[in-house]
Structures are given as C-alpha cells and as structure tokens.
C-alpha cells in the first residue's frame, strides 16, 4: 500500500523551517488521528527554532514542533471519540502511574519532569494531520473556536499559576512580563477578584493588545532605576502577589522590588540559563514565598476548556495574527523581531 503523505512545517536547522511532504504517522492501539485545524505558536517553540532541534536526542535537523493544537477526528481508532469530533490535545505525556499522577498532579509526573510534551520530544502538529494518544485528547464544545483552542495551552499555564497563588479578593497583583501568559494572568487575576493589577514591562512592543483588552490598571517601566520606589508607592507598600512571567535574573529582581513583605512571587517564566543570580537575603528577610508553577493538572486542563466555553475569558482576543502553516518560518521571524507588535500567532494548515 502506498504511504499516505501530508504537508508539514519541519524544523530543518537553527532558525529554519522548511515545508515538506512527510508520511502521515501510523495509527495503532490507543491512538487517534486528526486533521489539524489550528496550532498556536508558543515561546518554547522559539527556543527550539533557534536551536534547530527538539528536546529529545535525534531531533536535530528534522523535527515537527507544535503542541497547542486542535483538530477534527478522522480516525478514532479504538477510542470513544467519533469521526468528525473536534478535539484539543493536552501536550503533557504524563504516565498516569507514578505517585504524582495518582495524586492528580500530572504536571509534576516523574516521567514528564518538565520536558516530556508532544512537539518537544515527539512530533507535534505543525502539519496537516496528527496522530497521538487518545487519552490526551479532549472534546471541544462548540463554543470554543479552533483559534481559541489554539490558546488553551498558554491559558492553562496562566490558570494554574493564578489558581495556586495566594491571591485573595481585593489583593494587589503585579505581572512581570508583557507576553501572552502574562497578559492572560492579568485578565484571570481581575476575574479572580484582584483590586489592582499592574504590569512591569521593559518595552511597549506588545502592550497595545493588553491596553485594548483593558484588564491592567497600570504599566510600569521595568528598566527605570527608581522602579522599586515607584511600584511600592503605586501599590501602597508592595504587591500581595507578583507573577514572574519572563524567566531571568533581572525580572526576578524586579519581582523582589515590587512584592510586599510576606508576599508571594509565583515563578512561571522558563529560564534558559541553568542558574540565575538572585538576592536570596531579600527574600529571607522579607519572608517572601517563592512558588514555582508549571503547566497544569489534568483536571485543570478540562477546567480551562470550560472557562472559555462559559465565556469567563475569550482567548481569541489575544490573538494578533492567524497565519497559514506555510508561513510558520515568517511567524518565528516576526516573534523574534525587536519591533513587531505580535503577541500571539495561531497557524492553520
């Protein structure tokens, strides 16, 4: 039988995506085949794009990324799905067996350990079709569009970070970072009852979108030498919760500048450096709680879909561009430009 082929955007080298005809992945027990409808372009894709490889050995020079995607079932295999169902895949390849998974903390799965995701260690969905574990697929309600489904991944990260923070009604929140996750956190903390939500940013490139949506009360210049005094004055002594959504030593320092004594810093940003310098004593003497936050639990993934379906947040509003898959290379060039105001791109095959 002749091998069925599909178009895919293949990472063929550092900063290089090439459209290629590749074989459609084979079906098997427990698998589900979809026609990909939309796939969000993520900041972690940018790191792989720059490096020219995925996170697993053997991905150098030929790898298909894409982990924020939805599609229409074309072959349900032995799953409970039906042909024509619209589904979104959760990229987390949790084992379901370890102590963390059994405790409902799949984001901390011992097998995953922060790296074992679809589109990071195995082929993703920057392609016309995708085949993956049916147990990672979730039915999409009609109220969640394909483009909105392309934002479930960053929204789940924001949702988990806010849900597990110490934020209480009327609390004051600072988001450090102007990217999509920071912007979504701004909206979710407002919905969760924060009285004052501000952003610290180092440039204005991405904030037109945030201003249009209007959930941030104020924007601070993270480069200003007097930023600590300015932010403490504006927040009446410091923020109750600071969400660090960049992942660098400088932005962690900004968070320490802004948090009130006894407050919490929630760290979501992924640092590409193995170590970052950090003023430890400032955290000790002010009793600052440092909380790491990654991905979300399986239940929270379902809740994230529900948040959109119920209209608590419309992630489509944060999408600055919907582009054809064939322009993925251009999408990465735009996302890494120093001047482009792009916040979130979703590609469609």
Q: Footprint of Zn ion on this chain (CB under 5 A)?
A: 42, 94-95, 98, 101, 109, 111, 153
Least Cβ distance, residue 98 to Zn ion (angstroms)? 3
Q: With respect to Zn ion, which residue has the nearer C-beta, 45 or 253?
A: 45
Least spacing, CB of residue 226 vs Zn ion, in Å: 35
Q: Which residues pair with 132 in a beta bridge?
A: 32
For the purposes of burial, counting CB atoms within 10 Å of the CB of 186, is it exposed (0-12), middle (13-18) or buried (19 or more)? buried
Distance CA 201, CA 195 (A): 20
- In the complex, the smallest distance separating the C-beta of residue 26 from Zn ion, rounded to whole angstroms, is 25
Which CB, 34 or 101, lies closer to Zn ion?
A: 101
Helix, strand or coil, per DSSP, at residue 49: helix
Residue number, 153 or 240, with CB nearest to Zn ion: 153
Q: How far is the CB of 63 from Zn ion (least distance, A)?
A: 16
Write the secondary structure of 145-206 as one string of H (helix), E (strand) and C (coil): CHHHHCCHHHHHHHHHHHHCCCCCCCCEEEEECCCHHHHHHHHHHHHCCCCEEEEEECCCCC
Cβ distance to Zn ion smaller for residue 94 or 318: 94
Contact indicator for 36, 76 with CB cutoff of 8 Å: no
Shortest distance in whole angstroms from residue 112 CB to Zn ion: 7
Our CB check for Zn ion shows the closer of 95 and 276 to be: 95
Nearer to Zn ion, 153 or 264 (CB): 153
Q: Rounded to the nearest whole angstrom, what is the least distance from the CB of residue 117 to Zn ion in the complex? A: 8
Which residue number, 94 or 301, has a Cβ lying nearer to Zn ion?
A: 94
Other CB atoms closer than 10 Å to residue 314's CB: what's the count? 15
To the nearest whole angstrom, how small is the minimum distance from the Cβ of residue 141 to Zn ion? 21
State which H helix or E strand residue 336 sits in. Answer: none
Q: Which residues contact 129 (CB under 8 A, 6 or more apart)?
A: 6, 24, 25, 33, 34, 35, 36, 71, 74
Q: Report the relative pairing of strands 218-221 and 196-201 from DSSP bridges.
A: parallel
Minimum CB–partner distance for residue 262 and Zn ion (Å):
32
Return the H-helix or E-strand segment holding 224: none
Retrieve residue 223's tokens: 């480069």
Judged by beta carbon, residue 6 or residue 95, the one nearer Zn ion is 95
Longest dimension (CA), the chain: 71
């Amino acid at each position: 039988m002749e091998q069925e082929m599909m178009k895919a955007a293949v990472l063929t080298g550092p900063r290089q995506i090439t459209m290629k005809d590749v074989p459609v992945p084979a079906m098997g027990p427990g698998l589900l085949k979809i026609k990909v409808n939309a796939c969000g372009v993520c900041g972690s894709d940018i790191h792989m794009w720059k490096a020219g490889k995925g996170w697993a050995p053997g991905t150098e020079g030929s790898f298909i990324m894409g982990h924020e995607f939805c599609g229409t079932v074309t072959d349900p295999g032995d799953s409970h799905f039906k042909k024509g169902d619209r589904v979104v895949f959760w990229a987390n390849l949790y084992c379901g067996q370890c102590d963390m998974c059994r405790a409902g903390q799949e984001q901390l799965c011992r097998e995953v350990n922060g790296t074992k995701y679809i589109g990071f260690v195995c082929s993703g969905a920057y392609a016309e079709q995708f085949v993956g574990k049916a147990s990672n697929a979730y039915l999409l309600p009609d109220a969640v569009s394909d483009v909105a489904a392309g934002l479930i991944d960053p929204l789940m990260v924001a949702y988990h970070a806010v849900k597990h923070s110490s934020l209480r009604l009327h609390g004051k929140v600072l988001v450090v970072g102007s990217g999509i996750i920071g912007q979504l956190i701004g909206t979710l903390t407002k919905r969760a009852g924060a009285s004052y939500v501000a952003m610290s940013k180092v440039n204005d490139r991405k904030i037109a979108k945030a201003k249009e949506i209007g959930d941030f009360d104020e924007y601070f210049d993270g480069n200003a030498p007097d930023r600590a005094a300015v932010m403490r004055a504006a927040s009446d002594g410091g923020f109750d919760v600071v969400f660090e959504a960049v992942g660098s030593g400088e932005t962690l320092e900004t968070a320490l500048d802004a948090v009130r004594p006894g407050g919490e810093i929630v760290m979501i940003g992924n640092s590409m450096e193995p170590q970052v310098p950090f003023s430890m004593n400032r955290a000790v003497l002010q009793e600052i709680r440092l909380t790491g936050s990654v991905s979300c639990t399986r239940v929270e993934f379902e809740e994230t879909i529900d948040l959109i379906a119920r209209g608590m947040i419309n992630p489509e509003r944060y999408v600055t561009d919907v582009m054809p898959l064939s322009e993925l290379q251009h999408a990465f060039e735009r996302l890494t430009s120093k001047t482009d105001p792009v916040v979130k791109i979703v590609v469609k095959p």
